[in-house]
Structure 1
Amino acid sequence: MKTADPTMARAINDRLALDLLLERGPLTAPQLRALTGLSRPTVSDLIERLRAAGLIEVAGETGADRRGPNARLYGLVAGRAHVAGVNLRRDVVQVGVADIAGTEIGVVSRPLSAEPDLVQVIASAIDEAGEGRVPHTVVLGTPGLIHPRTGLASDSGVRGGRPDLGTALAERLAAPVIVENEVNLAAIAEHRGGAAAGRDDFALLWMDDGVGAAIVLDGRLRRGASGGAGEVALLKFGGEDFCCLLEAEVERDLGPEALADMIVKSVFVLVAVLDPGLVVLGGGIGRRGGEGLARLVADRLGAISPASTEVRPSAVEGDAILRGAVLTALDLTRDAVFGG
């Protein structure tokens, strides 16, 4: 079996220590030794190496009467890099900026005019939310299909939308921009800290100003060959597209029972084809319906599906799409700055 060379071993140890500081906050050298199992000299070298690289710093001391290196608390240099997440809706753009530790710096929402310069609007919102900081990476969520290889977006219905939005924004910001389907980003947020936390397989049914689904199997987000995985909006029931059946005006006129009857038609398709074991009801309709709507859908699903499936409402606080965009940007930035 091939063993790691010294350079690779140092990189692995460095990332292990940095991930522990992300998870637990500032730690002393003895705490790092206990948590990593590394020797005293190895941890000492690691600390000096990370300090020299500007990745960690002394963040205080433990014990009022203690002095010396073992009493020092080492923490991440949170300002080493920043990220931006963007939730691009049909008539509004929402931006969040965070430091590399994941601490929110600012959030900005901007309405879109009839014919906006979308690149300028987004760049300006990122600048405001980040208080002038240049982001290391930007992840932008938008409706529509995003081709997995080209990153080009289909017609999303967003005011001022363009297929090359990611490329144009990257040129303006001089930073990498990743464009992703917005429901996929919401699924990432649910997987990390929402209703699907700890689950390797689930489907998110998103019901808001747009309708769609995201699919996670074996712990991986599945996009499909052309980015179209989960596009349930165009399923036809009684000659009508599913997205039309769940417009906001229609929802207001339906009682919970009738709404569940409608939703379960789409959920059954996801379950029959994918057998995800869990379906999360997200977007405004899913959140407003809560546990009551989830139970009604689960009861109806159980009567027609042979596959046992849980149904839960979204559990992500706030804007799930924006949260997923920031989390994705943090993953990419940490791999680039800390070493992947």
Structure 2
Amino acid sequence: MKTATPAMARAINDRLALDLLLERGPLTAPQLRTLTGLSRPTVSDLIERLVDGGLIEVTGECGEDRRGPKARLYGIVAGRAHVAGVDVRRVAVNVTVADITGATVGTAVRDLPGGTGGHVHPDAPGGLADRDVSGEPDLVALVESAVAAAAGGRALDTVVIGAPGLVDPRTGDLVSGNDVPGWGRGFLESVRRRLGVPVVLENEVNLAAVAEHRSGAAAGSDDFVLMWLDDGVGAAVVLDGRLRRGMSGGAGEIGLLDVNGATLCHVVDAQVARGLDVGELARRIAVGAFALVTVLDPGLVVLGGKTGRAGGDKLAGLVAERLRELSPAPTRVLGSTVAGNAILQGAVLTALDTARDKIFG
């Protein structure tokens, strides 16, 4: 059996301390010793190492005795790295930039044709100046503009983009096109060239599931399915705490399910849902949920998107009731509890995971 080398042990201890500082905020050396179970010399060495590496800094003092180093509070150097999450939807591009601690430092929005931003001046971002010769918006330019505005001059370490469509896990690009105005072949590579930083593309519902798992209705559940009920309909699958994409990125494409001659996408999308009473809507949603439960037995189905959030506990309860009639597998059904844009939050969280692994080790 192999044992950890001294260098590996130091790296493990450093990451343990950094994760505690991210989770709990500034801590003193004695607090780090208590939480990690490490010895006084080991904690002293790792603090010195992390300070010298520009990863942590003294942020203040704690307690009545302010004379010794034990009273110093150490925290993550927030500006050590910045990441961007990008939500590219059919109506707008939304961007959030966060520092390495996860604190938001900038946001930006660029409307696309059909968006809700109203009239756009031709020379403004999203206006005629950002359209190609075909009249389609220059989506790459809009993403670049929004990222630059949100970053406010800060260098970015990682950018994660969420968008509709199947993302091939092997290539990291869309398997086929989507209906986002201006999206075309080579979009991802063009964005990478323009931004000059690592850029990752992910299906938007998968990113919403990341947010739901970290801070929403699925927090604490290693197995669940997020049903996305919005202008588009789909699902994301999380099993054993890991996002499951499938061979081609198509895991969870429940919107294609046939429901009495029509696809599920067409019978429960946001526009149709607004015209249905809650009982009929629940019945239709349960058809899709039943397919997921039958194959995966996740134990938890979360209803997300505009329809899922608006329906809340009442809609979730009715879907659960219908599921009990259809399936013997016990399944909880909950409405999404992620506040704000779940896709954007999932993109930022995914970008932070990548940046922290690279910088913290």
Per the TM superposition, whether the score is higher than 0.5 is yes
- Gapped regions of structure 1 (runs ≥ 5): none
Distance across 2 between alignment mates of 1:18 and 1:40 = 17
Structure 1 length-normalised TM? 0.97
Residue 178 of structure 1 aligns to a residue whose secondary structure is: strand
1:257-276 Cα deviation digits (max 9, x unpaired): 11111111111111111111
Q: Contact 2:231 / 2:271 at 8 angstroms: preserved in 1?
A: no
1:180 corresponds in structure 2 to 202
Q: Contact 2:14 / 2:46 at 8 angstroms: preserved in 1?
A: yes
Query: Does 1:30 find its partner at 2:30?
Result: yes
Distance across 1 between alignment mates of 2:274 and 2:43 = 60
Distance across 1 between alignment mates of 2:245 and 2:9 = 34
1:325 corresponds in structure 2 to 347
Aligned mate of 2:140, from 103, 119, 122: 119
2:121 corresponds in structure 1 to none
Query: Does 1:128 find its partner at 2:149?
Result: yes
1:93-114 Cα deviation digits (max 9, x unpaired): 1111100000011221210246
Q: Contact 1:152 / 1:164 at 8 angstroms: preserved in 2?
A: no
Higher alpha-carbon deviation: 156-165 or 329-338: 156-165
Residue 167 of structure 1 aligns to a residue whose secondary structure is: helix
1:137 corresponds in structure 2 to 158
Q: Match of 2:196, as an amino acid?
A: A
2:130 corresponds in structure 1 to none
| CA shift for structure 1 position 123 | 1.4
Q: How many residues align?
A: 339
2:285 corresponds in structure 1 to 263
Classify 1:52/1:246 alpha carbon distance in 2 versus 1 (closer, same or farther; 3 Å).
Answer: same
Distance across 2 between alignment mates of 1:249 and 1:172 = 36
- Gapped regions of structure 2 (runs ≥ 5): 114-134
- Structure-to-structure mapping, 1:91-170, within 5 angstroms: 91-113=91-113, 115-153=136-174, 154-170=176-192
1:226-274 Cα deviation digits (max 9, x unpaired): 0000001111111111111123332121100111111111111111111
1:44 corresponds in structure 2 to 44
1:202 corresponds in structure 2 to 224
| CA shift for structure 1 position 63 | 2.8
Q: Contact 2:165 / 2:203 at 8 angstroms: preserved in 1?
A: yes
Structure 2 length-normalised TM? 0.92
1:70 corresponds in structure 2 to 70
Distance across 1 between alignment mates of 2:237 and 2:230 = 17
Distance across 1 between alignment mates of 2:269 and 2:59 = 51
1:56 corresponds in structure 2 to 56
Residue 184 of structure 2 aligns to a residue whose secondary structure is: coil
2:306 corresponds in structure 1 to 284
Distance across 1 between alignment mates of 2:293 and 2:33 = 47
Distance across 2 between alignment mates of 1:100 and 1:324 = 15
Distance across 2 between alignment mates of 1:127 and 1:145 = 27
What percentage of residue pairs aligned between the two structures are identical? 64
Distance across 2 between alignment mates of 1:36 and 1:105 = 30
